[in-house]
Structure 1
Amino acid sequence: MNVTQVKFEINGKAVDVGVEARTTLADCIRDDLHQTGTHVGCEHGVCGACTVLVNGEAVRSCLMLAVQAQGEKVVTVEGLSGDDLTPLQATFRKHHALQCGFCTPGFITTAHALLTNEPDADEDRIRDVLSGNLCRCTGYVPIVEAVLEARSHYGRKATS
């Protein structure tokens, strides 16, 4: 087994981890760094459950190799909050925008990236960006409603 040392930041903490060249960032995050909020669903970049932030951009961690994270800043759903729910997570709870919860970390990180970069995103833009994440439980309406309400916490007044 050929192991490569990779140094990057995850959730504000510097890490130095040995991985095989073919290890995905998702597997490294879950198996080596024990950040289990990042879920692995399809392993083909289709479902969005594994979405994390790399330098602020939403990235499918099942499609990115861990070695590609060298020197980068990675944030998982765990890194978005401290002891309390973030306003975005709270709106998901308020709007019942989760049921089984499997897809939720991917939706949260994707929505966070969108609202950080586009706090004035309208409903059509939100739907477009979130269309890359799959959910089998909620029917998407509560997810969109939650993100619409959360905009006010990213520098926008909440209007529907």
Structure 2
Amino acid sequence: MSKVQYLTQEGYDKLEAELKDLKTRGRREIAEEISEARAKGDLSENAEYDAAKEAQGHMEDRITKLEDALANARVLDKSELDLSKVRVLTTVTILNKKMGKEMKYTLVSPNEADFAAGKISVDSPIGQALMGREIGETVEVDVPAGKLELEVKNIEI
């Protein structure tokens, strides 16, 4: 059994829409590709057929992962979040002590992570280090670029 994933309603709806699209349009398009490739003759040496079957396998794997994620999802209401500690769906302002630079991130499930939008996964090194921390706490985080020293400056919705 997969672990529970905490999602916003927006994140849940996005995964649900992707799943619906893959089950309808995606499966239909793959079936058409397989049918067209099959019509070209000998399947033992048909690269198009092999590619279409491989694409079908990848798509079915994604469908299974989405179904699992949705089955184990718990939609959180931001208005009910406890802001005394960093938790999933809280927005945290941190100070990178080495660079003297403040950054703001919202901690989300891996399915909703989007670094460009300021959403980092709770499973990322920074996300894991920040979870459960309170304002004023400092934490050291090992990242590919080295060791960061981060201070929690604010926690909000």
Same topology, TM > 0.5: no
Which one has the bigger strand percentage? 2
Which of structures 1 and 2 has the bigger CA Rg? 2
* Greater per-residue helix proportion: 2
Q: Normalising by the residue count of structure 1, what TM-score does the alignment of the two structures yield? A: 0.29
| TM-score between both structures, scaled by the size of structure 2 | 0.29
